[in-house]
Amino acid sequence: MLSTFEGFIPGDRYSPLYILTIVLINLPIITILLHGLWQVVSPKDPNVPPVVFHWIPIFGSAAQYGHDPINFFFKCREKYGDVFTFILFGRKMTVALGPKGNHFVTGGKLSEVSAEEAYTHLTTPVFGKDVVYDVPNHILMEQKRFVKFGLSVENFRAYVGLIEDEVETYLNNDPSFTVYGLGDINEWGSFNALKCMQELTIFTASRTLQGKEVRASLDKSFADLYNDLDGGFTPLNFLFPNLPLESYRKRDRAQKAMSDFYVQIQENRKDEDHSHDHDMLAALASQKYKDGTPLTERQIAHIMIALLMAGQHTSSATASWALLHLADRPDIADALYEEQVKHFSTPDGKLRAMTYEELKDLPLLDSVIRETLRVHPPIHSIIRKVIKDVPVPGSLANPGPDLTYIVPKGHYILSCPALSQADPAVWRDANKWDPLRWSDPEGVAAQAFKTYDDATGEKVDYGFGAVSKGTESPYQPFGAGRHRCIGEQFAYVQLGVVLSTIVRRLEMRLDTPIPSPDFHTMITLPKKPCNIRYRRRNFD
């Protein structure tokens, strides 16, 4: 290798400067080789989960995990089993796979693991102070109880018509659906599934949960604020919370402006009666903590930002994936349309409006949503920070007789429901999008959902009302345990009405294969292009 650099390095080949230069040039390679050698020859602690081999110190397995975490975990499982540790920019991430791994992470004890310490550096700069992961867990549970109060059946009944109206307005006015507006069933147009669902999701959420003032404010300036705030909710922000980058400064400015926006709405509402409104602002205004302390206007503002950000990402991703699959499987889309005709047709050949109760009694629609969430769960990894040494149950991983894996304090533990939802050992044709698998009451899918829903099982009240744990199910699209998504039922309402209304109006086709998932974002989105061809299903 010395000869490679002769003529490029000043000084005599045996001079100190020459030798130093050669050493510095080769130091990274030497470090990498020594690091790899040390992993092979160093003694292993039998009570610590095996570490995934990696060449680059600190960087670890970041590239493999970031590019395709599901495939990375499947390969690691073959070599190391269901419990192993990989290095992610210096963090030691101990992975626990399968249903028992899901339970180990999502059912972890508060005295041993913390979601707050795992996520607060990402969420607090975006959502704001004193909410979600910026408060102790018992306060978060109370805040979830406040939100649950606003997610009532009475409100859901009101939301169905509002969401349907928003979808129809969007189809009639958005430039992507100009061909639809022509009224000719023989003309085909196209729309970008992800772009349109991102816009439609924020329109429907603001019309329902967020309140009429927010819906009326959805102009370019609001969109710019939202985009700047969203730019601070990325894997880069999770890994490096405080980089001196313009995107971080834009995030901080947008957070303050958005917070002030919600506070101003509350100030304006003080002279008006909003007790009969169905939005979350009205619901939160009357809430108090157990000690009698009311929510502050700033806390309400930050909860509203959290609802806007978290719900928009997950619902728009799921709606996009569902439409792409329906366009790829016109037989399923046609069956979904026939389900609408069966339940909602009128004597004049039109389809009447849906109700909340009727929406819950559409088995194929429900199966389409469940299967989309199985194949494309919005979040692939669930993480907790270990705050006290945690023993790994022998039923999850058994390192040998009289041995128990211990995950040390300071590590992170990670479960991957996306893997258990795509595990060929559990699911037939695991990678195939097949909504009909949910129609068999004795099948794997139905049993997995029964375990997740656990309607007849023991309920646990973590502080926001009795819920099913669902921590041991291989199907966990909304998380499980105390951090199970509080907006699960709203998501089903929103997705159900959006998909139903679009299928009523459009026939869809996909000219290209289903896009691959993009794992480089916090939420698993379809890669570009994700365009769908469409035409009007019927004349009005």
- Which residue in 386, 438, 442, 383 sits closest to 415, CA to CA? 383
The pLDDT assigned to 192 comes to 97
The dihedral over CA atoms of 335, 336, 341, 344, expressed in degrees to the nearest 10, equals 160
Binding-site residues for heme sit at 485
Q: Per-block average pLDDT, block size 10, for the chain (540 residues)?
A: 46 67 77 88 92 95 96 97 97 97 95 97 97 96 95 95 96 95 92 96 94 89 91 94 95 97 94 82 94 96 94 94 98 97 92 95 97 97 97 93 94 97 96 96 92 76 75 91 92 98 97 95 93 86
Consecutive H or E run containing 307: helix 297-328
- Which residue in 293, 313, 316 sits closest to 305, CA to CA? 313
Binding-site residues sit at 485
Q: How many other CB atoms are found less than 10 A from the CB of residue 155? A: 21
The pLDDT assigned to 14 comes to 63
The pLDDT assigned to 389 comes to 97
CB 420 within 8 A of CB 97: yes
- Which residue in 11, 144, 69 sits closest to 462, CA to CA? 144
Q: Is the pTM of this model over 0.85?
A: yes
> Looking at domain 128-381+416-536, which of 3.40.50.1970, 1.10.630.10, 3.40.50.1260, 3.30.300.20 is its CATH number?
1.10.630.10
CB 517 within 8 A of CB 526: yes
- What does the block give as tokens for 60? 């670890």
CB 48 within 8 A of CB 408: yes
The pLDDT assigned to 436 comes to 96
Domain ranges for the chain, please list them.
45-124+382-415, 128-381+416-536
The pLDDT assigned to 100 comes to 95
User: Rounded to an integer, what distance in angstroms lies between the CA atom of residue 502 and that of residue 398?
Assistant: 50
The pLDDT assigned to 11 comes to 53
Burial, 279: exposed, middle or buried (Cβ in 10 Å; 0-12, 13-18, 19+)?
Answer: buried
For 90-119, what is each residue's pLDDT tens digit?
999 999 999 999 999 999 999 999 999 999
